Structures are given as structure tokens and as C-alpha cells.
Amino acid sequence: MRIEGTGALVAGGASGLGAATARLLHERGAEVVIADLNPDKGEALAAELGERARFVEANVTEPGPVEAAVEAAAEAEGGLRISVCCAGIGWAQRTAGKHGPHDLEAFTNVIGVNLIGTFNVLRLGAAAMVENEPDAGGERGVCVNTASIAAFDGQIGQVAYSASKGGIAGLTLPAARDLAGRGVRVVTIAPGTFDTPLLAALPQEARDQLGAQVPFPSRLGDPAEFAALACHVAENPMLNGETIRLDGALRMPPR
């Protein structure tokens, strides 16, 4: 998949992994639509990138706003060819503890944003891509999802988060098989501990400790490294139906 001149959608693109991905796609010549709930950060990033970048306010769990973002990205000359979903939230609570059972509303909310929101972006993005003219290799588009190594190594208190990210990993292969006949690929990236706004709130000592747990390189991941992999996925047509761990060989302990 050629990045230059294509339409790209980055959901959850106003900060963290999504912002880094939007920047690199734009740098590589894509027309980028940043979809996010935060208009201040989203508009600021679009203004920073300038020409070939725009912001669309969207909640990934709602069909209408995501459809609007997809339509905006599809206005590019070659149509929407690259969709990356980085939107997600976290929650920490044990299944049952001294304060009672896990909050069901919180569990439902995490599943709703992380899993259902990701599928919403995937289904609508893919539906637009299948209308594209195929390139020389028969490809019409690629959808990149964001899971987490918590999908495989969930820690104490991560039951909701791990379930949501495990669902994303689980849908990757069947979605890729669904779309194979139309020339649309589906790939998921499962990052480890990355230097995102969520971890930025932690004290530096805690951040250093998290980084030291990574075998090599022993540090937090840089969002630019996630972006680089997302772009490589777009460009490498043989990557399909796979969940790729991006974690420096980290395997999370129980706590």
C-alpha cells in the first residue's frame, strides 16, 4: 500500500499513539483525518500539520460521527486506504474484592469503547475501502487496530481492559478473512508499556520502574515506534490477519 497521496483515518488521533501515527502518515504524504473526542487537541494537531490534515470530532462508539470521519477521509483523491484505530480507555479493578464485585457499568464501558469502538471504526472504514479501485497488487485498503499485551498477559485488576484488548486480537483473523476477497487487510498491533499521556501522569520513579521491566530496550516505548510499525503494516501487503506484539520482549507479571 502506497502511503503518499492516500486518504488516512486515525481514530483516537489527537494524542499518544494516535497523534504519533497521524504525524508520520502526514509526513509520508497521506491526507490525514484525525478523529477524536478532544476538539482542543485534535484541532491543534491538525493546525500543526497544516495542509492535508483535518480534525473531525467523533466518539468511536457512535456510528454517525465515525461515518462522518470516514467520509471525510474518503474525500482524498485515492479514497480512504489506511484506517488506524488507537482510541481506548483503561480501568483497574479486581473481579471481586473487599469492596464487592467488579463494577458492571465500568466493565461494560471499557468493552464498549475499546472493543466495540474499534470494531465500529473497522467495519465503517472497511466498507468505504471496498469501494476503492484496487492498486496494482489488488489491494484496496488496510485497517490497523490497537490491542495491548494485556490481551495475553493481563495483570491483577485488568480483567475489563484485558477482555477488551483480547477481543480485538480475536477479531483480527476472521475480519481479515472476511475482507480478503475485497483486497482489504486487517492487522492489530499489541503494544507494551509506552510513553503515552496515561503514563505521563505517573511519578518519574514509577515510569523508570516500568521501563526497567522491559528486557530490551529497557525503557518505555516511544509512540513514534508504534507509528513506524503502523506505517510498515500499511506498506507490507503480506502482513494480514496478525496481531503483532510491540513490547521489547516484555511479558507482564501478575502485578
Residues 6+ apart with CB under 8 A from 220: 193, 194, 195, 199, 207, 210, 211, 214
CA-to-CA distance for 194 and 161, rounded, in angstroms? 16
C-alpha cell at 82: 489506511
Torsion-angle region of 29 (φ positive above 0: left; ψ -120 to 50: alpha; else: beta): left
CA-to-CA distance for 148 and 81, rounded, in angstroms? 24
The C-alpha angle with vertex 247 and arms to 7 and 142, in degrees rounded to 5, equals 20
C-alpha cell at 242: 496478525
Active site residues: 161
CA-to-CA distance for 1 and 5, rounded, in angstroms? 11
CA-to-CA distance for 249 and 214, rounded, in angstroms? 7
In terms of Cα–Cα distance, which of 234, 235, 238, 212 is closest to 84? 234
CA-to-CA distance for 233 and 198, rounded, in angstroms? 25
Residues 6+ apart with CB under 8 A from 108: none
Q: What's the chain's length in residues?
A: 255
CA-to-CA distance for 229 and 248, rounded, in angstroms? 13
